Amino acid sequence: MKTTLKLFSLLFIFTAFVSCSDDDGDSASEFVITEVSPTSATVGAEIVITGTDFPTDTSDISLTFNGVEATIVSATSTQIVATIPSGATTGELVLVANGYTKSYPTDFTVLSDLISETVSNLEAPQTGGQGEAVGGPFTKFSFESGAVTDSDTDWDIAFRGTTIAVNGGTATGTEDEPVRNGDAGVSIESGVFSDITSAEGLTFAQDSEGAFAIATGSDNGWYNYNSATYTITPIPGKILVFRTHDGKYAKVEIISYYRDAPAEPDPFTDESRVYTFNYTYNPNEGDTALE
């Protein structure tokens, strides 16, 4: 009996100790995730998880994106801020804390990074002009590959002289134009390149019979022709926002129409019909972000 009592006392004390140590790691209550925002983002972006009963010590939290451990930036009992780790891929978002393991009901989408590049010296020759009928093949460009393409289908925009066609809409009727088989379109926006942050809410025009979506002629579309200096220069503040042939988005600022983008092109010595442009391409399906 005495031994039994001692054992019970020991057990009590042990239990009490164990309980105490449990208390040290906050209460053992079950946390709840109410929202993850956003549910898609690129590597390095911060996401915010809101809910209740989160541990407040970041080292007590384990968060994984499809199995890849994330760095917790801050934590309160109702909000965890974390950055998406490199190597993360789209999949389950799993939070482990207080001995509980929970995965968010919807998969977290890890977006591909926006691609910002400069295309230099894209040649866009044409035949004719100066009153003669304009002809010759267009130079097709794909944002996905970031390069000129010969593909009849996987192109987004195409250049010939000052004319830019989109792979969407119908034939305009000009000689030698490529067949449009995608859903590309363009919206010409005003602003500084970095200020155009999204394609959300824009209306995209497509080529149609007799008219390119990017209107031809000086001061109509993307360029000005200066009759005093005989130069073609992009209209400042015109940012071309494209929907690609497969429904993604890109923005373009044309930098120059002359080889090697001279600051002061000389129409008599600098080769023209050679484009240099900056673009930002969002490779993620359905994502309109451009910055």
Partner 1 sequence: MNLNKVVLSFLFVCATVGFAQKPETNKDSVFVQNLDEVIVTATRTIRQMSSLPLPVTLINKKQLQQTGVTRLDQILREQTGVILTPDATTGGGEGVQMQGIASDYILVLIDGVPVVGRSSGNLDLSRFAIGNVKQIEVVRGPSSSLFGSEALGGVINIITEKPTKEIFSGEVSHRTATFNNQNTNISLSQRAKNFGYSIFVDRLSTDGYDLTPDEEGQTVDPFFNYTFNGRVYYDLDDKWKFFASGRYFFQEFDVASGASEEKDANAQLKIDHKVSDKSNFQYELYYTNYITDENSIDVDSGELLLENDFNQKLLRPEIRYNLTFKENKTLTIGGGYNFEVLTRSLFSDKVTFDSQYLYAQYDFKPLETLNVIVGARFDHHSEYNSQLSPKISAKYDITPSFAIKGSVGSGFKAPDFRQLYLDFTNAVGGGYSVFGKEVEEEGIQRLQDNGEIANLQVSPDELGERLDAESSIGYNLGFVYKKGKLSSELNFFRNDFKNLIDTRILASKTNGQNVFGYINRESVYTQGLEVDIKYMPFPNFDLSAGYQLLYAYDKDKEADIENGDVYARDPETLQTVSLSKSDYFGLENRSRHTINFKIFKEIPAWNANANLRVVYRSKFGMADRNGNDILDTFDNSFVDGYALVNLTFAKTFYRNFQLQVGATNLFDYKGSNPLAASGTEVLINPGRQLFTKLNIKF
Residues binding partner 1 (CB under 8 A): 130-131, 134, 162-163, 190-193, 210-211, 215-220, 223-224, 226-230, 233-239, 253, 255-256, 261, 263-264, 266-269, 276, 278
Query: What amino acid occupies position 224?
Result: N
Residue 4: partners with Cβ closer than 8 Å, 6 or more residues away: none
Closer by beta carbon to partner 1, 112 or else 224: 224
Cβ closest to partner 1, residue 97 vs residue 134? 134
Q: In whole angstroms, what is the distance from residue 66 CA to residue 45 CA?
A: 16
To partner 1, the closest distance from the beta carbon of 64 in angstroms equals 40
Least distance CB 169 / partner 1 (angstroms): 14
Pair of tokens at residue 47: 């996401």
Check: CB of residue 135 under 8 Å from CB of residue 290.
no
User: Strand pairing of 157-160 and 163-166?
Assistant: antiparallel
**Least distance in Å: CB of 242 to partner 1?**
17
Q: Which amino acid is at 217?
A: G
Where b means 16+ CB within 10 Å and e means fewer, 116-143 reads eeebeeeebebeeeeeeebeebbbbbbb
* Distance in Å, CB of 223 to partner 1, minimum: 8
Nearer to partner 1, 10 or 215 (CB): 215
Residue 244 or residue 256: which is nearer to partner 1 going by CB? 256
CB closer to partner 1 out of 87 and 191: 191
Is the peptide bond prior to 236 cis by the omega test (within 30 degrees of 0)?
no
